A and B are shown apart, each in its own frame.
Chain A
Amino acid sequence: MEDKFIKLFKETLEIEGIDIGLNTKFRDLENWDSLSFLSVLAMIDEEYDVIIEGNDFRKLVTIEDLINEIKKKE
């Protein structure tokens, strides 16, 4: 799950050549902008059939937080 999610996350944000791990704070990434939010929501819905509400999403900081949120709702 972790490796697959990181791969999908990198593809969604078109990130190349940067190491991303569970502790990465995704909002600090250079490719992150206000529109990335939408792409990540779409990817999570498509791959995991999970919808993360805006208020919940705002509390998430790291890649691991995202994965845990998906696991919680799957």
Chain B
Amino acid sequence: MATLVFENVGIKALAAAVPKRVINNYEYTDYFPADEVRQVVDKTGIYQRRFAEPGTCSSDLCFTASEKLLGDNEIRRSDVDLLVFISQTPDYRMPATSILLQDRLHLEHNTIAFDLNLGCSGFIYGLSVVYSMMERSGLRKALLLDGETRSRIYSPKDRKTAFLFGDAGAAALIERDPCFGKSYFSLNSDGSKEDLIKMKAGGYRFPSSAETMKERVVDEYGNIRSEEHGYMEGGDVFNFVIKEVPADIKKVITLSGSPLADIDYFIFHQANMFINSYLLKKLKLDPEKVPSTVSKFGNTSSVSIPLTMVSELQGKLDNRRVLLSGFGVGMTWASCVVNTSICRISDLVDY
């Protein structure tokens, strides 16, 4: 049972950036009839998303969020000893984007920097890695950066994914401080479900070729994509989420030793309104305690949790106990209970 407990490490500050370009989902495409688009959009509850301009990468959004974070909190760059970048839309296949960000952010050469290749559960996995490196070390400050340009990877002609995903970047400052107390993590993986959410071509199992670029009809509903596009089996993902996530939340709550009622906010990965509303109902949570951004930013994969904290909980997180839960591609799912004893949240940046 992969659970972890840490002491006296926490998120001191958070910042996030979203692209300026707003996509109104009803008007996103004329590829499908308007009434069909309306039906999909209403059901998934995603009315707007942000798309990065061509040439803008997830690292640019993270760089912007990091500059805001470092500036607002007057952080000396030489105090940053660790930089972790979470993304599945990095700048290059090599080198790792975290290394490029070390230089762009003018951090020292003795900074530890590496990438984590994870999707929707990534922020919680990332926190657990950074917490464990910080807890009993001499490392002074850590930056956990999390960025995605998911708008790029799905086919606009595949209605299963065309209306869901958006772009964003976030930056968290993590430090040791006795005020944070204990934090509790549960991390999980199930590779037997690798085919539920996938981008098949472009790696080394199925290298890109003229064949993988070809668009074709992939199902009885006439959806069109190539092997270079991502895809998602929505029904199976829904089944996975309702089966695994409530159980994992109960597990981490039990591990934390205090009841569900002690949690001030539940911050879920923002998948779509259908899944998120169902989770809220199944767990019988008070909607007031469950902030949501999916209607205005869509699904930004691993960024959706820190983005929701920045967008919805500015000034509300001090001395709070929060539960974070992410789930998706892999499949992986992860939950944690953490104290946000001191958590300064910067204004959301439009980039």
Q: Which of A's residues lie within 8 Å of B, judged by CB?
A: 33-35, 37-38, 41-42, 45-46, 51-54, 57
Within the complex, which residue of A33, A41, A46 is in contact with B235, where a contact is CB–CB below 8 Å? Answer: A41
CB contacts between A and B, total, < 8 Å: 38
A35 touches B40 (CB 8 A): yes
**Interface readout for B208-249 with A: 1 if CB under 8 Å, 0 if not?**
000000000000010000000000011110110011000000
Q: Is B206 an interface residue (CB 8 A)?
A: no
Given A35-B40, A57-B235, A42 and B243 contact (CB-CB distance below 8 Å): no
Residues of A within 8 A of B39 (CB): 33, 35
Task: Determine if B236 and A54 form an interchain contact, defined as CB atoms under 8 angstroms apart.
Answer: yes
CA distance A49 to B97 in the complex (A): 44
Instruction: Give the residue name and chain of the A residue nearest to B243 (CB).
Output: A51
Interface of B (DSSP majority class): helix
Cα A38 to Cα B238 with chains together (Å): 7
Contacts of A53 in B (CB 8 A): 236, 239
In the assembled complex, which residues on chain A have CB atoms less than 8 Å from the CB atom of B281?
Answer: 46
For chain B, residues 245 to 284, give those with C-beta under 8 angstroms from any C-beta of chain A: 274, 278, 281-282
Interface of A is mostly: helix
User: Is A51 touching B234 in the complex (CB atoms < 8 A)?
Assistant: no
B43 within 8 A of A: yes
Cα–Cα, bound, A23→B219 (Å):
25
30 contacts between A and B (CB under 8 A): A33-B39, A34-B159, A34-B160, A34-B221, A37-B234, A37-B235, A38-B43, A38-B234, A38-B238, A38-B274, A41-B238, A42-B238, A42-B242, A42-B274, A42-B278, A45-B242, A45-B282, A46-B281, A46-B282, A51-B239, A51-B242, A51-B243, A52-B239, A53-B236, A53-B239, A54-B233, A54-B235, A54-B236, A54-B239, A57-B235
Among A34, A51, A52, the one with the most B-chain Cβ atoms within 10 Å of its Cβ is A34
Chain B 40-59, CB-CB to A under 8 Å as 1, else 0, gives: 10010000000000000000
Closest 6 CB pairs of A and B: A54-B236, A37-B235, A54-B235, A35-B43, A34-B221, A51-B239
Q: How far is the CA of A46 from the CA of B221 in the complex (A)?
A: 27
